[in-house]
Amino acid sequence: MTGKLKGLILSGGKGTRLRPFTYTGAKQLVPLANKPVLFYAIEDLVEAGITEIGIIIGDTGDQVKAAVGDGSRFGAQITYIYQDEPRGLAHGVKIARSFLGDSPFVMFLGDNFIRDGIVPLVEQFQGDDINTMIILSEVERPQDFGVAELADGRVVRLVEKPKEPKSNLAVTGIYMFDSNVWEAIDCIQPSARGELEITDTIQCLIDKGFKVHAHLLKGWWIDTGKMEDILEANRLVLETIESRIEGTVDQHSKIIGKVVLEKGAEVINSVIRGPAAIGEGTRLINSYVGPYSSIYHHCVVISSEIEHSVVLENSRIESVDHRIEDSLIGRNVEIGKSPMKPKAYKLVLGDYSKVGLL
């Protein structure tokens, strides 16, 4: 494989598995340890020496542009490519043809997270005589993914979300292609769900005799498409952080374990037990923040307890009687206790919301 690599990140899609958050926000901007998951993908590409990056955007494109900008903060040059509707991963590649040209490239799904980066994978792709590399991971529910079937260590077949999987090897959201991918994309047709599937594209490359190499991932990879996945990815990232206190902590408060406290954050008569991350301008008053919690910027937590949860920006939690656990709380949310009688739960919930009440 020759030529300088480019990067392509798919950041469109409707994020149906994360509703109601994705009705108003991009799923790729949900933070892990207070950093949007999309940023990890960009940083992984830049770390591997890939600085020319195209990002496929859709309805939430303005939010992605506002967050990422021109890429200079990452040491990259970003080109945005608009996709009018989610028409499949291969369609995302197809509409990026003018940006990619004949350059080999790494494709990264913007809601996928791989903790150990992609540097050795890119080096292998560049050094070996292969046309395509796919990254596989062993999973418990292969029927939820594209699945690879191997024979003598060679990829022989890919099936998208099979009802009866013949292996537990899921195709992760990281792919590497040379220019032969265009021949494959031109030969496939929309699937039964009306999309141009990347699994069909790779199967076409296999059938035409191109060298498709599969790398079995030893570390962990997470598709952050569901709430449980975000909480798990957040936990795993927080386990790797180093303490950094840039905000203020009063004499009545305690910081225990590894905690990141961003500038402008205030901790007043409160306890934070790490690992935890507290965003810029967030205030904790008479409260407890337990392990594996990330509270994003400009939030307020008063007289409440929260643990193993992710709270997005500009939210307020006040005077909640019971500890909040295992929760994903969106942007500009207010949670509190009303003094009015009669006592009752007063809820405003979007479609697909889930609430557990005592």
Q: pLDDT 10s digit of each residue in the chain, 358 long?
A: 557 999 999 987 554 555 455 545 677 888 899 999 999 999 999 999 999 999 999 888 999 999 999 999 999 999 999 998 888 899 999 999 999 999 999 999 988 888 788 999 999 999 888 999 999 999 888 888 889 988 887 889 988 888 888 899 989 999 999 999 999 999 999 888 888 999 999 999 999 999 999 999 887 788 777 778 889 989 999 999 999 999 999 999 999 999 999 999 999 999 999 999 999 999 999 999 999 999 999 999 999 999 999 999 999 999 998 999 999 888 888 998 877 667 766 666 655 667 776 7
One-letter amino acid for residue 73 of the chain: R
* pLDDT for the residue numbered 223: 76
* pLDDT for the residue numbered 27: 75
Strands (DSSP E) found in 75-193: 77-82, 105-109, 112-114, 132-138, 146-151, 154-160, 169-177
What is the C-alpha to C-alpha distance for residues 147 and 69, in angstroms, rounded to an integer? 35
Structure tokens at 41: 């993908």
Phi-psi region of 121 (alpha: psi -120 to 50; beta: other; left: phi over 0): alpha
* pLDDT for the residue numbered 24: 53
Q: Report residue 324 CA to chain centroid gap.
A: 23
One-letter amino acid for residue 261 of the chain: L
* pLDDT for the residue numbered 15: 45
DSSP 264-303: T-EEES-EEESSEEE-TT-EEES-EE-TTEEE-TT-EEES
3-state class (DSSP) for residue 245: strand
Report the largest interatomic distance among the alpha carbons of the chain, rounded to a whole angstrom.
73
Q: Omega into 20 within 30° of 0, i.e. cis?
A: yes
* pLDDT for the residue numbered 1: 54
Torsion of CA 349, 350, 352, 353, to 10 degrees: -30
Q: Work out whether the CA dihedral 244, 32, 58, 106 comes out positive or negative.
A: positive
What is the C-alpha to C-alpha distance for residues 97 and 107, in angstroms, rounded to an integer? 13
* Other CB atoms within 10 A of residue 268 CB: 15
Asked if residues 127 and 248 have their Cβ atoms less than 8 Å apart, the reply is no
Asked if residues 248 and 267 have their Cβ atoms less than 8 Å apart, the reply is yes
Q: Work out whether the CA dihedral 78, 311, 335, 270 comes out positive or negative.
A: negative
Asked if residues 109 and 26 have their Cβ atoms less than 8 Å apart, the reply is no
Structure tokens at 122: 């890119």
Q: Among all chains, which residue has been given the structure tokens 């407890």?
A: 288
Pairing of strands 310-311, 328-329: parallel
Give 163: exposed, middle or buried? Use CB within 10 Å, 0-12, 13-18, 19+: exposed
- pTM for this one? 0.88
Give, in order, the Cα–Cα distances in Å from 209 to each of 130, 150, 219, 279, 332.
11, 15, 30, 51, 52
Structure tokens at 199: 């699994």
Q: Indicate the DSSP class of residue 3.
A: S
What is the C-alpha to C-alpha distance for residues 89 and 100, in angstroms, rounded to an integer? 15
